[in-house]
Amino acid sequence: MPELPEVEVSRLGISPHLEGQQLLRVVARQRQLRWWIPDEVVQLSNQPILAVQRRAKYLLISLASGDIILHLGMSGHLKVVASNTPAAKHDHLDLLLSNNKVLRLNDTRRFGAVLWQAKGEVHPLLAALGPEPLTEDFSEHTLIDGCAKRSAAIKLVLMDNKVVVGVGNIYANEALFKAGILPTAPANSVPAAKLALLSTVVKETLAAAIVQGGTTLKDFSQADGKPGYFKQQLLVYGRGGQPCLQCQQPLTEIKLGQRTTVYCDICQR
Is 109 within any annotated ligand binding site? yes
Marked catalytic residue, from 2, 131, 133, 183: 2
CA 238/CA 92 separation, integer angstroms: 31
Marked catalytic residue, from 55, 57, 104, 239: 57
CA 95/CA 194 separation, integer angstroms: 45
Marked catalytic residue, from 3, 6, 8, 174: 3
If you ran DSSP here, which 8-state letter would residue 159 be given? T
Q: 110 catalytic, yes or no?
A: no
With H, G, I as helix, E, B as strand and everything else as coil, classify residue 108.
Answer: coil
- Any bridge partners for residue 253, and if so which? 262
CA 122/CA 71 separation, integer angstroms: 16
CA 204/CA 134 separation, integer angstroms: 9
Marked catalytic residue, from 25, 34, 203, 259: 259
CA 111/CA 32 separation, integer angstroms: 9
Q: 57 catalytic, yes or no?
A: yes
Is 17 within any annotated ligand binding site? no
Angle at 66 between CA 61 and CA 67, to 5 degrees: 25
Q: 174 catalytic, yes or no?
A: no
Alpha-carbon torsion 124, 96, 20, 137, what sign? Answer: positive
Q: 239 catalytic, yes or no?
A: no
Is 150 within any annotated ligand binding site? yes
Contact indicator for 73, 33 with CB cutoff of 8 Å = yes
Residues making up the annotated binding site for DNA are: 90, 109, 150
**Which residues sit in the known binding site?**
90, 109, 150
As annotated, the active-site residues are 2-3, 57, 259
